[in-house]
Amino acid sequence: MKASLNILIAYFMVVTACSAQRSQSVLELYSHTINYPSYKVVFHLEVVPEGHQATSDSKRYFWYGGNQINITQGGFGGKLLDGAYREFYLNKNLKAEGNFDGGLMVGEWKKWRENGSLDSISNYSSGELNGLFARFDGKGILLEEGRYRNGLKHRKWLGHLSTDKVQVTYYKKGIVIQEKQSKLKIWMIKLGDKIKLRRKK
């Protein structure tokens, strides 16, 4: 009985190993590094047999070939970027960070300036801007925030013109439908002062 059990376990181990090898032969991940004059890129690749990866004519694919990262709309001519992606300045500060899935940008992406201050936060879905977006100045102060839908600005966007003034712009599929300025911050400060005075009385 024990011998039969050992044989069965060994059989399943062989089957699992063969299955893993077949999967690895279809989709293999490799880590690569490219050193540019002003920054370094660390990324992963997906090796896809010809005819395996379907593409969309409207999407831009990031792929590796000729010791550089290339971008092609509707196709690719090398190994697709897949997985974690990072760029570093020469001072080792992060320049950019995000993820790829089959050559397309996905999830949250962040960009930084060389001094380490945050430049922008964006979100992607299947290679298109989708979801929250925020942009910051050199001191890390929020300048602009809003949402993208299918690569276009959508609904309410806020532009922080100064500490007391906000530009409110409404979009529909990338087209401005309403725009106005608001001194909401000043109003809130004044309201807060009035509440404090009333409490003192």
> Looking at the domain assignment, is residue 141 inside a domain?
no
Q: Count of domains in the chain?
A: 1
The answer to whether residue 168 sits within a structural domain is no
Least confident of 3-7, 42-46, 116-120, 133-137: 3-7
Q: Is residue 194 part of a domain?
A: no
In a domain, 129, yes or no: no
What CA–CA distance (Å, rounded) separates 153 from 135?
A: 14
Reported as a pLDDT band with limits 50, 70 and 90, residue 24 is: very low
pTM: 0.74
Beta bridge partners of 7: none
185 C-beta neighbours (distance < 10 Å), count: 14
Q: Is residue 13 part of a domain?
A: no
55 within domain boundaries:
yes
- Give the integer Cα–Cα distance in Å for 46 and 181: 47
Instruction: Domain of residue 93: give its range.
Output: 27-116
As a whole number of angstroms, the distance between CA 71 and CA 114 comes to 24
Q: What is the mean pLDDT of residues 183-187?
A: 52
Over 50: is that where the pLDDT of 179 sits? yes
Q: Report yes or no on 84 lying in a domain.
A: yes
- Cβ atoms 153, 172 nearer than 8 A: no
pLDDT at residue 161 in the model: 87
| 33 in a structural domain | yes
Instruction: Give the per-residue pLDDT at 31.
Output: 86
